């Protein structure tokens, strides 16, 4: 499967996970998926990106942030989302490009690293590593979001 909507449990499709259901430290199941040239192009269009900026040594690369739509997939497959989640922040480090002219087989792993309350709101912080199937590190990520009560 390739598209995020094929990989990600959608809100209301299965019972969602309340704040208390997230377990700090537990590894998320490994996620395998493929980023196709079609996904790369659809993503360029969806964020109004200028694809000409992403030429790398004469070859068309994807915007590194093509991973954004996949961002929550490793987490949501273990902890399906409830309605009303609001994203708070994200940090991505990019290490290697994803090419636009080939299908890239990817593996994502991660874990919940923190749960906390701030100003009466409850937050989940989790991290993920994004690698090619051959083990090459593509990106690392930390994401924090607010889970409504």
Partner 1 sequence: MQMKREIAIDQAKIDLYGKINGDNDIIHYDHDYCLKRGFRGTLVHGPHLSAFACDLAIKKYGKDWFYRGRLHTKWVGPVCPGDTLVVELNDDGSIVESVGGDVTVIGRAELETR
Count of residues that interact with partner 1, criterion CB under 8 A: 47
CB of 71 to partner 1, least distance (A): 6
DSSP per residue over 95-147, as a string? -S--BSSS-EEEEEEEEEEEEEEETTEEEEEEEEEEEETTS-EEEEEEEEEE-
68 lines the binding site for partner 1 (CB under 8 A):
yes
Minimum distance from CB of 39 to partner 1 (Å)?
7
For partner 1, the binding residues in 102-121 under the rule CB under 8 A are none
How do beta strands 55-56 and 121-132 pair?
A: unpaired
Q: By C-beta, is 28 or 71 nearer to partner 1?
A: 71
Judged by CB under 8 A, which of 22, 69, 112, 124 binds partner 1? 69
The tokens for 15 are 């019972």
Q: Which of 21, 36, 60, 94 lies at the binding interface for partner 1 (CB under 8 A)?
A: 94
- 1 is a site residue for partner 1 (CB under 8 A): no
C-alpha distances (whole Å) from 34 to each of 49, 86, 105, 147 are 21, 27, 4, 29
Q: CA 33 from chain center: how many Å? A: 11
Q: Which residues bind partner 1 (CB under 8 A)?
A: 3-8, 10-13, 39, 42-43, 45-50, 53-54, 56-57, 61, 63-65, 68-69, 71-72, 81, 83-97
């Amino acid at each position: 499967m390739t598209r995020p909507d094929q990989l990600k449990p959608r809100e209301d499709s299965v019972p969602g996970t309340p704040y208390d259901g997230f377990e700090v430290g537990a590894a998320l199941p490994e996620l395998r998926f493929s980023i196709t040239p079609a996904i790369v192009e659809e993503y360029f269009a969806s964020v109004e990106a200028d694809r000409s900026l992403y030429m790398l040594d004469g070859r068309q690369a994807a915007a590194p942030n093509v991973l954004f739509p996949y961002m929550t997939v490793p987490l949501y497959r273990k902890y399906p989302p409830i309605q009303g989640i609001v994203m708070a922040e994200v940090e991505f480090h990019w290490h290697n490009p994803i090419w636009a002219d080939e299908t890239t087989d990817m593996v994502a792993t991660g874990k919940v690293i923190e749960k906390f309350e701030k100003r009466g709101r409850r937050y989940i912080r989790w991290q993920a590593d994004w690698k090619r199937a051959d083990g090459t590190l593509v990106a690392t990520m930390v994401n924090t979001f607010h889970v409504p009560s």
